[in-house]
Amino acid sequence: SALRVRRYRREEAQSRVRMQEWCSRQVAEMQAMESIWSCDDEFCLDVEENANLRLAEEMAASGSACEFPSLSGRVVLKESGAYGVGLRFTLPPGYPGAAAPRLQVESAAPREVHGGLTLAVEAAVEEQCRDGEWEECLLVAAEALKDSALVFLSSHPPAEGARQGGAAGVSGASPDSTPTRLGRRVIWFHHIKALTKRKAIVEWARNMRLGGFSKPGFPGIIVVEGEEVSVAEYVALIKSLRWQAMAVRAEETEVVANDGGSEAGDALDGARKLPPAFQELAESGMTELGQACRDAQLEHLFLAAMKISR
């Protein structure tokens, strides 16, 4: 019928307008990436990808979106050295707005590091989807990768660097001369809601052999315990995820006594007060968290998280 034809033409016209908007936004984001990450050739396009971007720029400027070329590329973190950390991306039709970008973290880093970097990127991108509508993600994803890579790679240097460090250790002080330190932190958040962030909080802690709890929801609370170096690294990683509000509300360290008859790890485990397997509580688990801290004789940490003084 005539009514159906008019409706079809109206919807087709609206679809073209949306597609033109999405294409223009893709081009603008690619240009921003090229400007920000062009230093030291960190923003990489092969011949075909570069040709597609230039064609897209011409089409966006003319208002045409017919058969808009697929845009893709790669960001390389030069400071990652031998690990070659990078982010490969492809912008599908409908991005941004109706579709998410296709992202893949690339690296030659150990599996746990590669997984941690991927989680950091996924968590950052997840924050860009609001009410089913996607915002531009590339800059956020690249910055999240860079921030988390700096933390991870500082404690996981490439093999050659690690070998050099090991060689220096042989001629220097014995590892036993460095006391083992146990660290604890209490971190408060306005909220912990994003599923990818919740996953990262638990996986990173377990990979670093940290114990404790995460209470998601409003507010979010993390109580974490383990080797001090790992605890400090963990806090830095959590900060790199970017939060509406986050604060370390309590921290404590203690030297772990070793009688010389046991490994440093055994002595550390013997000094723990929190469960060694990090776990996530329910969003309604504030009472459970408080009781767990009391049972561990760490109620003062729970009170610090809530800004309660006694």
Q: Which domain holds residue 299?
A: 177-305
Please report, for the domain that includes residue 106, its CATH number.
3.10.110.10
Q: How far apart are CA 6 and CA 99, in angstroms?
A: 28
248 to each of 186, 217, 278, how far by Cα in Å?
Answer: 6, 17, 18
Tally of CA atoms within 13 A in the half-sphere of 68 that contains its CB: 28
Q: Let me know whether 146 and 225 are in one domain.
A: no
Q: What digits encode the pLDDT tens for the residues 47-62?
A: 999 999 999 998 888 8
Q: Let me know whether 11 and 93 are in one domain.
A: yes
Please report, for the domain that includes residue 188, its CATH number.
3.30.70.100
pLDDT value at position 61? 85
Q: Let me know whether 224 and 115 are in one domain.
A: no
Closest CA to 272 of 304, 224, 226: 226
Q: Let me know whether 12 and 151 are in one domain.
A: yes
Flag whether 172 is in a domain. no
Assess whether pLDDT exceeds 70 at residue 65.
no
Q: Let me know whether 94 and 150 are in one domain.
A: yes
Q: Let me know whether 143 and 36 are in one domain.
A: yes
Cis peptide before 96 (omega within 30 of 0): yes
Assess whether pLDDT exceeds 90 at residue 15.
no
Domains held by the chain: number: 2
Position 249 confidence tier, pLDDT thresholds 50, 70, 90? very high
Flag whether 2 is in a domain. no
Q: What digits encode the pLDDT tens for the residues 162-206?
A: 434 333 333 334 445 578 899 999 999 999 999 999 999 999 999
Flag whether 168 is in a domain. no
Q: Is 113:158 a contact under the CB 8 Å cutoff?
A: no
Q: Let me know whether 186 and 286 are in one domain.
A: yes
pLDDT value at position 13? 59
Contacts of 48 (CB under 8 A, 6+ apart): none
Q: Let me know whether 21 and 124 are in one domain.
A: yes
**Single residue among 96, 125, 155 that ends a domain in this structure:** 155
pLDDT value at position 166? 38
Contacts of 221 (CB under 8 A, 6+ apart): 186, 187, 188, 189, 213, 214, 215, 286, 289, 305
Q: Let me know whether 133 and 246 are in one domain.
A: no
pTM of the model: 0.80
pLDDT (mean) for 83-104: 93
Determine which of 69-78, 123-132, 155-164, 281-290 has the lowest per-residue pLDDT on average.
155-164
Position 40 confidence tier, pLDDT thresholds 50, 70, 90? low
